[in-house]
Structure 1
Amino acid sequence: MKYVKVLGPGCKRCQAIEAMVSAEATRLGVAVSVEKVTDYAAIAGYGIMSTPGIVIDGKVVHAGGVPKTEDVAKWLSA
């Protein structure tokens, strides 16, 4: 199981990333637990200055903007 956190205020980009992660996980057959983190202090704790951000299994893999679908697939497959 991959533990994914989507860091951001809950904007449309954050929602798009959450949907993208869920869709790619389903496509790849990877079990995921997706958590939204909207608390700015918690987000800053990851060292992210630009949202949305993605943390997978405790590691920051993306910050700022919406990533490419193939990048999300690569991160979930690792």
Structure 2
Amino acid sequence: MVEVFKTDVKDQRQAKRLIDQIHELFSDYTANFDLEDCDKILRIKSASGNVETCFVITILRDFGFHAEVLPDDDLACA
């Protein structure tokens, strides 16, 4: 399962810190940021099932960032 989040993370140092925290808490997740995207995308893939979206959003909020799940449809790009 892959989940994509829109965030307000701005630099690579912040992104690395968040990825390290996510990987520490969820060993079956693979996380990465696309900070070049206008939505500062956080992409998380779970090897064992669903991504705990509320918990991921809480982690980012605890570090002072905003995150929201991006819709799964292509209408947002129209």
**Looking at CA atoms only, which structure, 1 or 2, has the larger radius of gyration?**
2
TM-score bracket relative to the smaller structure: 0.3 to 0.5
Scaled by the length of structure 1, what TM-score is found? 0.39
Higher-helix-fraction structure: 1
Scaled by the length of structure 2, what TM-score is found? 0.39
